[in-house]
Amino acid sequence: FETAASILRTFARFVDQGMLPNRFPDVGQQPEYNTIDATLWYFEALRAYVSATEDSSLLRELLPLLHEIIGWHVHGTRYNIHVDPADGLLYGGDEGAQLTWMDVKIGDWVVTPRAGKAVEINALWYHALRCMDSFSMLIGEMPRYAELAAQVRASFARFWNPELGCCFDVIDGRDGDDASIRPNQIMAVSLAHSPLDSEQQRAVVDICSRLLLTSHGLRSLSPDDSCYSGHFGGNARQRDSVYHQGTVWGWLIGPFVEAHLRVYGDRELARSLLEPLLCHMGEFSLGTISEVFDGDPPFRPGGCFAQAWSVAEVLRAWSLIEGR
């Protein structure tokens, strides 16, 4: 817990214009702030820490900074990141910028341009607002964000695609709404505060189960999509071009297991979803988990052979299943 608190304090020192950096370069260089989701995940990290420790002192220390972060997002910060006053949803993206975790850029080519209102970003935005009111009440302050959170939840209905029975990946983008079936929507189910109703949550889990779930994580794009690629390989450009176009990411098993548990409550089935990754720990690189896998069987591993977020999400999912 002391290590966790130290990490949270360290990252807080680098907040600039309401944003956390996504990369810390070598000594003497400036951090890079081209990310929209890292800052929003910080709220979840603090929520998880407080839930485990009940450490209100750290919460009291960080809360003024968190209010400042919310303010920057509401009024606007880098890369056109701002709240749309018409619906309360968070917009982000400039020409040539890649701001979400699907962040590959090859020269001037942004492979998965997701400028607009991305589904997981707005799920995280709603979650952050709800967390802020919980944080305030825990230390005896009056909540400030209930009205904005209610607006975001109501507006989140715009993400629902009734034709496919799942969420749009991005709405209000440069080319309209993006109906690509990607795993980003699973965050709208897995987070502690979900903007979806129970039927929609089940539908998202079901479509991800049917089209994205593999033995080693979730595909980054449905195999039914014309842009899908089931093989991660070749030279650097070839690999980067398919990084988020069907390649399986091991870390996504964490939010999927959490979402599945929320919807179905089947711990044995959830545990079985982790077993192939646990076996993988003794097959490819001893005691650790790869970054990515092919989208097609037999799901050959690739990318980094030891990836921290793959390991962390399997551990987190295992703890959830075991009720810790």
What is the rounded distance in angstroms from the CA atom of residue 196 to the CA atom of residue 70?
A: 22
| 3-state helix/strand/coil string of the chain | CHHHHHHHHHHHHCCECCECCCECCCCCCCCECCCCHHHHHHHHHHHHHHHHHCCHHHHHHHHHHHHHHHHHHHHCCHHHCEECCCCCCEEECCCCCCCCCCCCEECCEECCCCCEEEHHHHHHHHHHHHHHHHHHHHCCCCCCCHHHHHHHHHHHHHHEECCCCEECCEEEECCEEECCCCHHHHHHHHCCCCCCCHHHHHHHHHHHHHHCEECCEEECCCCCCCCCCCCCCCCHHHHHHCCCCCCEEHHHHHHHHHHHHHHHCCHHHHHHHHHHHHHHCCCCCCCCCCCEECCCCCCCEECCCCCHHHHHHHHHHHHHHHCC
Q: Tell me the sheet residues that pair with 82.
A: 91
Token couple for 220: 């980054």
What is the rounded distance in angstroms from the CA atom of residue 4 to the CA atom of residue 111?
A: 34
**Burial tier of 147 (Cβ tally within 10 Å: 0-12, 13-18, 19+):** exposed
What is the rounded distance in angstroms from the CA atom of residue 99 to the CA atom of residue 204?
A: 24
Q: Which residues of the chain have pLDDT under 70?
A: 324
pLDDT for 97 equals: 80
pLDDT for 23 equals: 83
Asked whether 243 and 302 are in contact (CB, 8 A), the reply is no
pTM for this entry? 0.95
What is the rounded distance in angstroms from the CA atom of residue 108 to the CA atom of residue 140?
A: 49
pLDDT for 59 equals: 95
Reply yes or no: is the peptide bond before residue 298 cis, omega within 30 of 0. yes
Q: How far is CA 4 from CA 9, 45, 50, 254, in A?
A: 9, 9, 10, 19
Q: How far is CA 162 from CA 136, 159, 195, 215, 224, in A?
A: 36, 9, 16, 28, 18
